[in-house]
């Protein structure tokens, strides 16, 4: 699932709201902005990340929030490792915040590319968040089952997303994100069925997609959560 929108457009709020409802039993988050602490055990050391995950049994549930830190020059190898580990875990929900930090339009790290292309065979659910569709790698966008698009400011990004969603450019251009009223509008496209949905987060952060055009945007909560 691709989550796209300008800074402050409601991407992370929507995603966090969705995670609270989904309650994934196996969750791994790439959290460069230190904002997902409520969702699991925070790990900042890469060695600890490997050790914690290696100690888990095949049926164990876990929620791990990995924070790569402030030094972006280390992101490349850290993200490679993160993706390599994630690929080994069946039935995982992976969240990657600000993919543009670690991918570009012309370059997808090989292990990330493998996750995007083959994760489905491992019953994986992936969420990738980015402010700029133009800088996200095309393999990921091309393999999305759902695209959730919030307000964008850049003219080129608006055109790219209108074409990707298959909606008029004005529909994307007119999306509102208003912190004063707490209303953050979005358009979603189920890339498998072509269904379009639109809606808004309300002031309490809850989802209010219009039913007549709603798409089933998130998997149901997992049954085996304790
Ligand atoms: N828990 C919260 N309660 C109320 N408002 C919030 C909460 N979290 C974020 N906001 C506000 O909601 C708006 C959207 O925030 P959000 O974090 O979803 O933006 P974003 O699209 O993820 O931006 P960025 O790309 O900068 O991370 C912002 O105005 C923010 O100040
Ligand atoms: Mg965010």
Question: Does the domain formed by 2-176 have CATH 3.10.105.10?
Answer: no
Instruction: Name 110's Cβ contacts closer than 8 Å, sequence gap at least 6.
Output: 80
Protein residue closest via CA to atom 18 of ligand 1: 10
Protein residue closest via CA to atom 9 of ligand 1: 13
For residue 222, name the pLDDT band (cuts at 50, 70, 90).
Answer: low
Half-sphere CA count of 133, side-chain side, radius 13 A:
27
- Ligand 1 centroid to Cα of residue 159, in Å, is 24
Q: Which ligand is nearest to the CA of 186?
A: 1
- The pTM of the full predicted model, rounded to 2 decimals, is 0.89
CA distances from residue 155 to 48, 57, 149, 161 in whole angstroms, order as listed: 43, 48, 14, 10
Ligand 1: which of 5, 10, 186 to mutate, judged by most atoms within 8 Å of the beta carbon?
10
- Ligand 1 centroid to Cα of residue 224, in Å, is 30
- Ligand 1 centroid to Cα of residue 16, in Å, is 10
- Ligand 1 centroid to Cα of residue 64, in Å, is 22
For residue 181, pLDDT over 80 is answered with: yes
How many Å separate Cα 171 from the centre of its chain? 22
Protein residue closest via CA to atom 22 of ligand 1: 12
Assess contact for 146 and 140: CB atoms under 8 A. Answer: no
Per-residue pLDDT, 215: 40
For residue 226, name the pLDDT band (cuts at 50, 70, 90).
Answer: very low
Protein residue closest via CA to atom 11 of ligand 1: 179
For residue 161, name the pLDDT band (cuts at 50, 70, 90).
Answer: very high
Per-residue pLDDT, 203: 61
Residue ranges with strand state E in 48-110:
62-66, 93-96
- Selected residue with higher pLDDT from 212 and 46: 46
- Ligand 2 centroid to Cα of residue 29, in Å, is 13
- Residues 1-7: what's their mean pLDDT? 96
Instruction: Name 8's Cβ contacts closer than 8 Å, sequence gap at least 6.
Output: 177, 179
Ligand 1: which of 5, 12, 101 to mutate, judged by most atoms within 8 Å of the beta carbon?
12
């Amino acid at each position: 699932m691709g989550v796209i929108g300008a800074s402050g457009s409601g991407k992370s709020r929507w995603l966090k709201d969705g995670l609270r409802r989904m309650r994934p039993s196996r969750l791994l988050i790439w959290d460069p902005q230190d904002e997902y602490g409520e969702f699991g055990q925070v790990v900042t050391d890469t060695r600890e990340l490997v050790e914690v995950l290696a100690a888990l049994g095949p049926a164990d549930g876990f929620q791990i929030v990995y924070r790569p830190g402030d030094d972006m020059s280390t992101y490349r190898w850290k993200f490679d490792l993160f993706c390599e580990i994630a690929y080994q875990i069946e039935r995982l929900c992976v969240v990657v915040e600000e993919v543009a930090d670690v991918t570009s339009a012309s370059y997808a790290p090989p292990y990330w590319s493998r996750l995007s292309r083959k994760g489905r065979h491992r019953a994986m659910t992936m969420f990738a968040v980015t402010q700029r569709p133009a800088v996200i790698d095309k393999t990921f966008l091309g393999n999305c089952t759902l695209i959730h698009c919030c307000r964008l400011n850049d003219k080129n990004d608006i055109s790219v997303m209108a074409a990707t969603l298959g909606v008029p450019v004005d529909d994307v251009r007119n999306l509102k994100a208003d912190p004063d009223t707490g209303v953050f509008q979005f358009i979603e496209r189920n890339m498998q069925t072509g269904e379009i949905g639109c809606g808004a987060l309300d002031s309490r952060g809850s989802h209010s997609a219009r039913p007549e055009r709603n798409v089933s945007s998130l998997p149901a909560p997992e049954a085996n959560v304790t």
